[in-house]
Structures are given as C-alpha cells and as structure tokens.
Structure 1
Amino acid sequence: MRAVVCTDLNEVSVQDIDIPEPRAREVRIRIVAAGLCHTDLSVVRGNFDVPKPVVLGHEGCGYVDKVGPGVWEVAPGDPVVCSIIMPCHACPQCDRGAFSICDQWFEIAFSGIMPDGTTRLRRDDSDINSFFSQSSFAEYAVVPVSAVVKVRQDAPLEKLAGLACGISTGLGAAMVRAPVQPGATVAVLGAGGVGVATMIGARAKKALRVIAIDLVPTKLDHALRTGAATDAIVAGANTVEDVLRLTPGGKGVDIFYDAVGAATTIETGIAATRAGGTIVAIGIMENDLEYTVPLRGLINEKIITGTNGGSIVPRRDIPRFVDLMMAGELPFDAITDRYYDISQVAEAFDDLEQHRMTRGAFRFESSPS
C-alpha cells in the first residue's frame, strides 16, 4: 500500500509498504480521507520528537476493512472516524471519564508503537513506527478499537476527517470544555482549521459576537465570509485594545480561545478577558512553552484552562457533531477546503506551512453520495 513516510528531519516521501494486519482489539480501516494537521508538519520539522521512520497521519476516516479478535463494537463495512483520543479504560483519568487526558494516551501518542508495545507497519523486513497508533496517511490503517467511532452511513466521510483531531478540538473547546453561553462575546486567536471550528462551535451555542484574530488577512476574510466570525482583527501590537473596543463597556470578552499556542498568546488572552471570564489554551507550538500569569488576573477570578482534543468523549460527541452538521446547525464540513493525493505530499505540507488553505486533507477515495 502507499503511505507517507518521514525518514528524517524534513525528509518525507511516498513509499510502498506492507498492508498491516490487526491484532486483538484492533481494527483495520480502508482510508477514505485523512486530514492535514500542523502536528504532522511539526514532526517533519523536528518540533516533536517521534522515532523514525514513521508513517504520518492522525486524522483518518474510512470504512472498516477487517477486525481483530475480540472486536464487537464495529464490523466490516462500517463508516468510522479514527479519533486521536484512545482511552485505555484502566487509568485513573479514564475511571473518572476524562478520556482526552488518559494517562496511557500521553505515553503512546508520540512513541511510535501500539498500546501493546509493538509495531504494525513494515516494509520488507524492517519495522516502521506508527503515529498516534494510527498512521492514516496510508491506504490502510490499523487502529485500536478504543479510538474507532462509528458514524452514520449517509455522512460524507471526506468531510469528517478533521473530526479525528483538529475540528473536534475546536468544536469541543467551545461546546464541551468551556461551553459558550447564549449571548456571550468570545474571541478566537487563530483562524486556521482549529480556530474556525471553535468559532463555528461558538456560533452554534448562540454567541452574540465571535471575534476572529489572526496575522493572515485572507484567513480572517474566510472566517467572516463563511459566517464563522462576526468580527475580525488583524493581530498586532494593539490586539488587546482592538478586542476590548468590541466588548460590552470595553471590559473584555467572556471567553478567549487561544488556538495558536505561541509565545505571549495566553498573555494576550488574559489581558483581553473580563474579570470572571475564561481563557482556554487549545494550540501548542512547542512542548516547552511557558507563560507569565498576572496574579491580579487570578484574584479577579479569571479562569485559565486548556483542552486536549476538545475534551470530547469521542463516541458521544463525534456522532453528535455529525448529526448537527447534517442538520445544517454545525457547518464544519466547509472548513476542509483543499484535497490532495498523497503523491502531492510536498505541495500539501508547503500549502499548510504557507497558510494557503483553512484545512486540507489527503483523499484516497470518495464516500458514496
């Protein structure tokens, strides 16, 4: 099968590798589409330490092709999304229902292995590492069944790939982790796929005002044109003042979502949020980033929190998001605006890095209409 393999820093190619076989409690998926995410690009650029060679991709969706022993949740032919959240159902976090921060998930996601400590991917006689125990930039992917979410048959699968990670992260931030209250004023820093999904989630929750903030004017234009945002601000030295001017009494937004996670972006959020408001960290550019938090902000009851994967429960929330999208109430299907064959991997990563699309995906086949 064809797969996108990263062999070294900035070295990516399409290779022909063996079709993997599922083991106990695993599912093989025939991939329809797999979303492009900055996390994959960060592995290529060396910002995340992942053992190589590795097949990239962690936003896959497709049809169940084969199931391993002990799998009862899905059957061959079922349409599914492969979530990055793969709860072990055995750690203290899973016991309390916090699947998105499963202790085992954090250990495995970037380790190159499957939950049982072994690999599934090979070329000839050599092992190839997995990414998020998924590696969906390939024609087939073997995934732990705990990460597999069945969706309705009539859903356009190529539009759902982002629900595996980025789009669910944004929707979950605004609808699950820090749910918007009707009539609220919110700001979203970052108008890429995750940020726009956050805006769409906020609009679905009846926010009165959704302020998009980004360095790239074309991204802001897209957020306004699609109705994801009501207002737009080009990020710069006066970002905080520009946000405050758009809020009731100039006191700040009710919720500030940081979908970027770069140096100083949380500080911007703290300054632009009203007393008693909430600041949510969604994105992270580098693992070792640190922020300075003013004590006065905490005394004024500002809440600073974060979300991993939108804090969703995949089997509860992903089908719910799909139902709302199909009903026209959550139009995240418009976020993915560019598709590629995996032979175009270099072009796709360049477009991602140069902000030429809101959200892209590799498409292997089209789901039936």
Structure 2
Amino acid sequence: MILTKYKLGDLIEPFNKQCNIPNLTIWDISGINSDKEFFEPSKQIGEDTSKYKLVPQNYFACNLMHVGRDMVLPIALNYTANTKIVSPAYTVFKIKNNIPLLINYFYIMLKSSECDRYFWFHTDSSIRDGMSWEDFCDLEIKLPSLSIQQKYVNIYNTIVINQQCYENNLNDLKFICDAYIENLKQTMPSVPIGQYIKRQNIKNGPNGTKNVKGISTSKEFREPTSKVDKNKLSTYKVVKPRQISFVQTTHNEKVFAYAFNNTNEDIVVTPVNEVFSVNEKKLLPEYLSMFFNRTEFDRYARFHSWGSARETFTWEDLINVKIPIPNITIQKSIINIYKIYKQRKQLNEQLKKQLKNVCPILIKGAIDEAKRLKEV
C-alpha cells in the first residue's frame, strides 16, 4: 500500500514526566501560540511548579482542552536541543519507535488549517469543546511511504533554513541597535524624559475620525478586540501623527504596551489611555520608541507599577523615566539602523506566514504523489 490509514494511537505514545522544581518563573516555562510554536516567557504560572511537565527534544506538547475554544490545536514540536517545561494541563507525547511516520512530516501535517478543522470537528460537547487523549488517539490519518514523507520534509527543511538564516541576520541588526544604546548609557548621563514630552488630551468630538485602534502587546496599533460603536467616539482621545499612546496597566499585558502613530492620519484610542507628543528639537519619538521596545523597559515598567489588582504605570511614572539623550544627529543615525531592522522584521514575519501556508501544499503534494504511484 502506497497510502496507508492509521489511528494516531498506533503512532504516538504519552510522556508524563514532572520537572519537580517548585519555584520556576515565567521565564522558565514555555507556552504554545497559534502558530504552533513554543514561546517564552509563559503568560502566567502557578505558585507551585513542581508538577509542570518536561518536553524533551523531538517530543510534542499540546493543549487538547482548548481545541474548540481556539478552533486550532495548540501544539508544538520541541526541535531544540533543550528540554522545555510546560503547564501540567498540557499533554506531552512522542512518536513511537520503528513506525512509518517521520517526526517532521507529522509536524508539517499539524500546521495545516485543514488539520485544525479535522481536530475541531471531533471535539466533545464540553464547555471548552476539548478533546480527551483517548479521542485524540482514535483519530485517523493517511500516510504515504517514508521515502515520500522524507522528500517533502526535505523541501520544508530547506525553506526553514532559508528563513532562519534571514532571522539570524535580523538578530544581528537588533544586537547592533541594543549595543549602541548600551554604549550611550555607559558614556553619557541619563535624564528624565518628562522635560521633553507633553501630555495630550484632545477629545475626538461628535464629528471626529472613526479610525479607532487598540494597542497590542507587540507595541503597535491594532484593530480593537472588543466591539466598538464607531458612532460613539466623541470622548475618545486623538493620537495625532508622530504622537504616542500607552496603556497604563501592566498586569494583564505583562509589557509596557504603547504605540507610535507613524501614519499621516489621526487615530483615536480609549479615553483611559495616555497620549503625548515629543519635543522633536531635542528628542525624536522613534528614538524614544527604541527604549520602549526593549524587554529591559518592560521589566522597568512592571517593577515601577504601583500596587493594585491591575498594576498601573501612570503618566507620573513615565515622566520620571531616565534615558541618555544624544544630539539629534546621533539619534537619527541609530534610528536609521533600527528602521532597517523593523522593515526586515516585518518581512521575516511574512516569510514565517508563508512557511505556515506552504504546509498544506506539501502534505497535498505528498498524498497526491502516493496516489499516483498506487495507480501505476
């Protein structure tokens, strides 16, 4: 048989080994995103992490309870040399030895939206529309021969290598920017930014713009995640071109969530956000944004957030932030390097998206090739 049907339970086996470390931090724990990749740090952890699970190299971790909620199977393959640690709510498993399934071929299968629909269709009727391990193992997949699997895995790996090479060059640019700033911090005094920024509180009014945006944890304007009546934006704050807006809470966001309006149009944001302009004769907003984008500043903002259930970093906290401010010529030179980094970062995200989109094409190619060989 060139194309053979298997139940997942015939191909995979569970792995349930606890880390036995009670005091891990979010930086030690991995989560899984919608792109089916591990990410660190995790958003939150329990008080006692000793029951958190290990994910060795070439093992999978997934959250079977969130298939229906997310309409995707949150799953990732640990293809690194380091053992990862995940929530005890995750299911960890491996491909069985000496079976006709390549690890990377299975991973390519899992990254297709068609596969997500297949898993979602077979979820249970619980509140979260989850899936038990038994139900997961009972699902069926069709596999071509190992030689055909390897052929399409090789194609995928070639694309991945090219994307990773590009990403490594991107990281080099980021390192140059960070090193430049670190050098400035060591060689010149840091001063409070309050003297260079001005708080803005312009209301949109009844006839204002309907260009309403939210602010993402990736520090960009985005479409609002909740429903907004665009006919009732009169109290919203206006963010004019080259102005900055930020979210005052840091507990849920885990970062200093801000966005710089680098468009030519006014943007309106929720009235609870702060908005400010920058004295561009002394300080460029792009240069200031470079500091806000650093994980070091995220830690600073969270540390200096005052005590409440939401942890608030206010305008008064912001104006006391100290950074080195060189002359405009030096700021522009750093910004030019950073702009190249941002442009290439955006291109890299497009490459990663294309990489995800090519997965179902590769799987279809493998199955079609197997069918053709069967007919011959």
Give the TM-score of the pair, scaled to structure 2.
0.23
Structure ranking higher in helix proportion: 2
Larger Rg: 2
